[in-house]
Structures are given as structure tokens and as C-alpha cells.
Amino acid sequence: MGLLLVGTLFAGCTLSNTPRRSLSEFREALLCHDADRALRYIDVDRVVDSMAKEMLRKYEVKANTPLEALGVMMGKEVAETMMPEVRALIREQLWQAIASPTEGGFFRDIRRASVWYLTIQVEGDTAVVEPRGGSGIRFKMARSDAGYWRIVEIVRTR
């Protein structure tokens, strides 16, 4: 009976169409340095857009004078104009970082981590994922039209 329960729990956590399964596939792609497969699980455009919006929002909150508010408004216009090039550049840099044979860099911790050390809260077609132990990073995932989950937003919590 206990073995059946453990098997059911394990299957439920690793079945396809779950955030944990997509993260496991993402990690496996990182370990194999398969950038094309890994980028299937990251919506680079949405991640970059959310990071830019958050950065500009922080500047907007700090703008105390009309001149500072004008600078923020101009920054938004420039960011909107440059965003396609920025997304393409970041996508290319991510591809190179993943495909690189070195184990260091941005994905070092993800390559070493286990998807079982993540707290995942699913609400409909979105999920909030946070490493246990307070790493200072949390990310949001969304279910793709193809059924797997993609990282769509990364947030610093500290």
C-alpha cells in the first residue's frame, strides 16, 4: 500500500504538463548544453519586458521633480524603441551561455540543483516558483499553448 502511494505521488509530481516536469526538462537541457531545447522553457521576450517594466517603475516611483518624471518618460520611449534589439541580444547571449561547455556562469546553480527543492504554487495556468531557503529570486511560469510550462517573469525578492 505504501509503495503504491509513493508511486502515485512520484508520478503526480513528474507527469508531463506540470511546472515541475517542465523545470526538470529545462534542467536536463542545461546539463546537455542543448540551448534550443532549454529556450523552449523560457519566454525571453516576456522575461525581458517584465524586467524592463520593473526597472522603469522603480525610477518612476523615485521621480520627485518634473524633470525626473520627464527623464522617466523619455526612458520608457527609448526602451520601447530598443526592446526588439535587446530581446534578440539577450536571447543570443542566453543561447551561448547554455550551449557553452563550461559549467560556470549564470546557470551553474540551476545545473546543480534539484527540482525537488523548489516550492511551486500553481493557480490555473500560472505558477510561482521559489527555491527553498530564500535565494532572493522567485519566478513566474505560465502554461504554453503546447501544454508545457515556460518561465515568463523573474523577480528579485531582496
CA 104 to chain centre: 18
Q: What tens digit of pLDDT does each residue of 45-64 get?
A: 999 999 888 888 888 888 88
Give the burial class of 65: count Cβ atoms within 10 A of its Cβ; 0-12 exposed, 13-18 middle, 19 or more buried. exposed
- Match 536571447 to its residue by C-alpha cell: 91
Number of Cα atoms under 13 Å in the Cβ half of residue 74: 7
What pTM was computed for the model?
0.78
Annotate 28-73 with DSSP letters as a single string.
HHHHTT-HHHHGGGB-HHHHHHHHHHHHHHHHHHH--SHHHHHHHH
Quote the pLDDT of residue 136. 76
84-99 pLDDT, tens digit per residue, is 999 999 999 989 988 8
Angle of helix 2-14 relative to helix 19-31, nearest 10 degrees, comes to 70
